Amino acid sequence: MDTIGLDLHKRESQLSIVTEDGELIERRIATSRESFTTVLGSRPPSRILLEASTRRRGPRSGPSREAEQRGWPAEFPVL
């Protein structure tokens, strides 16, 4: 299973993908549904590590709430 690291920002996000073969793929893309669909839409299921921040703090803000609403298994530790 591939591992995808996402560092989300308001306008652009950084993706780091480590394939099962150990290949590292790094890309910077626009933070939009279209960009994420283009880059990740055809990939097989992967383990995703997400880094994001919002003005609100807490386990039910921003990305964690979105993942929960979609029924995705996710854990978002608050640091």
CATH of 3-69, one of 1.10.1760, 3.40.91, 1.10.10, 3.30.420: 3.30.420
Give me the pLDDT at residue 76, please: 53
| 38-70: b (≥16 Cβ within 10 Å) or e | ebeeeeeeeebeeebeeeeeeeebbbbeebeee
Give me the pLDDT at residue 79, please: 46
Note the pTM of the prediction, 2 decimals: 0.64
Q: What is the pLDDT along the chain (79 residues), one digit of tens a residue?
A: 899 999 888 889 999 999 999 999 999 999 888 998 898 888 888 888 888 666 555 555 555 566 666 666 655 555 4
